[in-house]
Chains A and B, each alone.
Chain A
Amino acid sequence: EAGVAQSPRYKIIEKRQSVAFWCNPISGHATLYWYQQILGQGPKLLIQFQNNGVVDDSQLPKDRFSAERLKGVDSTLKIQPAKLEDSAVYLCASSPGWGAGNTIYFGEGSWLTVV
């Protein structure tokens, strides 16, 4: 079974530039998550989709971050304009649905460095 695919794996940009990350979840998984993980910290949820609807985006900095999952399958996370503090790993994860019995599977992450 193919895992969660993310690209690009690594990106270096200057502050105020924009960047986009792509995620393709495991086939058939209805729930998709984007997490931000800053070095030395645990992952922080940015946004959660159930199919193509947003379930939770309370911690997404909406002035600069946006995400979409138009067809309920793959998703894009965009940052514009980037700040130095956005340097982090952006992890995409998916699960079959939601509930106590669902395990969440992570992609390899997209490592962003803002200089």
Chain B
Amino acid sequence: EDKVVQSPLSLVVHEGDTVTLNCSYEVTNFRSLLWYKQEKKAPTFLFMLTSSGIEKKSGRLSSILDKKELFSILNITATQTGDSAVYLCAVSFGVSSNTGKLIFGQGTTLQVKP
């Protein structure tokens, strides 16, 4: 069965801490892995990863993919209260250009305390 598993499910830290969120997957014909941030509204896109070992960075956020071990991590350095959200990992996979699927993990709820 195709699945995406995130850990931890929830995390509480203080401002300034660094956090690492994990996402592992088991799918057939992997295409890409995506990270989203969800506050009390729709998920907003953070990163898309397709190649192993190439770090993507945006400000204090960074992410990397390991296609051999089938996982990705999302790092947030110097956390701020505005980083409090649910972080969703999704994996796209499929056998042809028109019949792909995108499934999500359960999400990691991050709370950053002042």
Q: Which residues in A have some Cβ–Cβ distance to B below 8 Å?
A: 4, 33, 35, 40-45, 48, 50, 55-56, 91, 97-101, 103-109
B42 and A104 contacting across the interface, CB-CB below 8 Å:
no
With a CB–CB cut-off of 8 A, which chain A residues contact B107? 41-42
Q: Which residues in B have some Cβ–Cβ distance to A below 8 Å?
A: 4, 6, 31-32, 34, 36, 41-45, 48, 50, 88, 90, 92, 94, 97-107
Knowing A99-B31, A100-B31, A100-B50, the reply to whether A45 touches B45 (Cβ < 8 A) is: no
Q: Which of B44, B45, B98, B104 contacts A55 (CB 8 A)?
A: B98
With a CB–CB cut-off of 8 A, which chain B residues contact A101? 32, 50
Distance in angstroms between the alpha carbons of A7 and B100 in the assembled complex: 27
A48 and B42 contacting across the interface, CB-CB below 8 Å:
no
Query: Which residue of A has the minimal Cβ distance to B33?
Result: A100
Knowing A42-B88, A42-B105, A100-B50, the reply to whether A106 touches B43 (Cβ < 8 A) is: yes
B34 and A104 contacting across the interface, CB-CB below 8 Å:
yes
Q: Can you list 15 A-B contacts with CB-CB less than 8 angstroms, sorted by A residue number?
A: A42-B6, A42-B105, A43-B88, A43-B104, A44-B104, A56-B99, A91-B42, A98-B100, A99-B31, A100-B50, A100-B92, A104-B34, A107-B42, A109-B41, A109-B42
